[in-house]
Structure 1
């Protein structure tokens, strides 16, 4: 936050909030409480840096609340109360609203009445996050619909159909569902995550993350434009990112990530809003799968990418900066600190984001 030129009072406020209100929800500090969804070593927290012009970069974080206060109570009611409690303890926040959270919880989470085994699954159904602006913050909740689909025998597309109707997002959702209908069932990308902000409906965003293999730049472009039905504005940065990570050029080139037991493929994200008939898109490429260590991730794709971008705020001493922030090991040992590099594609420009794991449980 200091490197992104946050006001010092904001740095202190966010730090106290993270330490006092979020760390206690992350489970034991010595061994994983359970296999976390988030990172390869089961660290239940991730940080991201959205790189923009100087003094406009943003820090966000997401965490998996493995020990909601709580001791065994993982009900939707407990999750809702925890969100309300967190909102009361954060000084910088917009108007707080849980209407879309309630819709997602009803449609995507297992209800307490859906079987005696519900509790053992509930912890794997959601993540929480915070978008930390310089003078305000937005709380977010991420839902994993897969367990609900297994229990209800409904598809995630059917769940989203109901949700978007209730959220007045039918028009942008229809563009996504028409795109998905082009795929054969076995080739269709999976809905991995559905997320909303904890703000009033008119300002809210429904975010849908699809897990899919991204084989080439042409393939990635096809997803980012919903099969060429969306504007290609912002694709230049996406192409620069692809070329930097794969270290090749040309639309037909493919990347060859190393073998890995987790997150072998990329994420495509679509954002839906009530005041926009077309979704916007974002791509997440798992940079830790392409290079042998974090120092290589910096020296090749990240520095190469930002040297190509105008107005980038990446510092010249970025390797030293990252080594100082993540000081628990040398960056040249392996990959894992840099997890994803992401690029939005939307009118008005695109943002580049870098995602980090603090590797709390790594060897």
Structure 2
């Protein structure tokens, strides 16, 4: 046998790759620029005439019919807004019709009754910390690393119809019933850690006023897999900290060290790395916002601490993601290089020095949000950054096109299909003008480094009804 020949790309493969790159680098931006020159009223007509906002998710329509008569006007509002967005995301993410039906039915029957009053003019709404405009629900599109199908998730704060009024000043009624619903509706829900952290972080008596700028006390999130829905819970330590004259981190540390499977210090090496980082004099002040757990058996659950850093340079990102160089390795190095690429395209920071901050804003949710997570027995924590796109991206369309560009080029693999369906989902739900000229639909773009250095990316979306396309 002769020497093996060197394998070369075929002319078709080369031309196909060039065509894909042409789409990303030239044609997508050119089409966007041309459309931007069209008057607004003509853009709306063009969008409607091409069917961009007229194709309702088919399973959503079916479940809408099944829900007739079961929702009050507030529930109908949330179904027609957040439920519609959820239906579009599920459909375009490629969920089977059976999975879409199961998830949408769960949302319509179990979640919408706990989202409070409709967001209508003059309504007295609970000031939920879930989103900056107080919508008590946020959806997300998990791109994973781009190598498998995306998945959809949602987060909510249970809100009663009388929340914030004299009849229910601290919004306690809805959560009481929501917990009962959760245990019944999702058979896999395990309450052991939930009950512990709820007791450990709840104040001894109701507190007056907002804690750290908001009144929210608990959030829930749902991972919407093809076969199963699983839940998570998020607790706010500020109430207990204020009541006991402690810092938020002190309250969190005590709650963690008394949790089942965590009383042995050898199980908390990962948490101790975080404590060392937070206490280091070279670390900027960290604002401890939340503690989260998976509502599964403690042996399988994670503890996650969400914290905010007001520094916004990429140098501060590197410092935080590595816990002040306490975390290291080739995977993390590779992941940080990829994160810088996404940072550059998302926030238009290419060529900007690492130590240059993002444009200053004094909003409560400005700065950069992070979490560190660990399981009992972990040697080191994992870290994740949440970039507040609503504060720092130029527009929501900039976010969409940036994610498209990043997901195309990462690892040298073409991932246009995943980015194209996300593009389609956003355009099918929201007005073009809102996407092109405004921001706020994307709340965060989250990134975490996976084994091998791939970057896992998640888009978080606020279902702002005033920006929905006519349908």
Q: TM-score, normalised by structure 1?
A: 0.87
The match for 1:354 is 459
SS in 2 for 1:315: helix
Which of 102, 113, 117 is residue 13 of structure 1 equivalent to?
Answer: 102
Q: Hey, what does 2:18 align to over in structure 1?
A: none
- For 2:277 and 2:450, how far apart are their aligned partners in 1? 18
Q: 1-side partners of 2:180 and 2:432: how far apart?
A: 34
Partner of 1:307: 408
List alignment gaps of at least 5 residues for structure 2.
Answer: 1-89
Decide which moves more: 198-207 or 36-45.
36-45
Q: Are positions 1:246 and 2:347 aligned together?
A: yes
Seen in structure 2, the aligned counterparts of structure 1 residues 17 and 119 have a Cα distance that, compared at 3 Å, is: farther
For 1:182 and 1:120, locate their aligned partners in 2 and report how far apart those are by CA, in whole Å. 29
Report if the CA contact (8 A) 1:191-1:211 is conserved: yes
In structure 2, the residue matched to 1:63 is: 156
1:354: Cα distance to partner?
0.6
Equivalent position to 2:440, from 321, 336, 344: 336
Q: Is the strand fraction higher in 1 or 2? A: 1
Question: What are the equivalent positions in structure 2 for 1:307-326 lying under 5 Å apart?
Answer: 307-310=408-411, 312=415, 314-316=418-420, 318-326=422-430
What whole-Å deviation, never above 9, does each CA across 1:13-32 have from its counterpart, x for those lacking one?
A: 11111111111111111235
Show the 5 A alignment for 1:39-58.
39-52=131-144, 53=146, 56-58=149-151
| Equivalent residue in structure 2 for 1:204, among 301, 304, 311 | 301
Distance across 2 between alignment mates of 1:302 and 1:182: 35
Number of equivalences:
355
Which residue number corresponds to residue 400 of structure 2?
298
Q: Distance in 2 between matches of 1:49 and 1:260?
A: 28
Aligned pair partner of 2:199 in 106, 112, 135: 106
Aligned-partner SS, 1:135: coil
Trace 1:257-268 onto structure 2 (pairs within 5 A): 257=359, 259=361, 261-268=363-370
Against the structure 1 CA distance between its residues 205 and 69, is the aligned structure 2 distance closer, same or farther, given a 3 Å change threshold? farther
Contact 1:32 1:361 in 2 (8 A): no
| Paired residues of 1:269 and 1:282 also in contact (CA < 8 A) | yes
For residues 58-98 of structure 1, the C-alpha deviation after alignment (integer angstroms, 9 at most, x for no partner) is: 111111112189973969897465224224224xx6x3211
Tell me the equivalent position of 2:7.
Answer: none
Write the mapping of 1:155-234 to structure 2, written as runs, cut at 5 A: 155-167=247-259, 168=262, 169-183=267-281, 187-232=284-329, 233=331, 234=335
Preserved CA contact (<8 Å) 1:44 1:63: yes
Return the alpha-carbon distance in structure 2 between the equivalents of residues 274 and 61 of structure 1. Answer: 26
Which whole-Å CA distance do the structure 2 matches of 1:68 and 1:148 have between them?
26
Unaligned runs of 5+ in 1: none
- 1:283 and 2:385 correspond: yes
Q: Bigger shift: 121-130 or 335-344? A: 121-130
Q: Which residue of 1 aligns with 2:49?
A: none
Change (3 A) 1:317 1:62: closer
Match of 1:237 in 2: 338
Partners in 2 of 1:197 and 1:221 — Cα distance?
27
Change over 3 Å in CA distance of 1:196–1:279 after alignment to 2: same
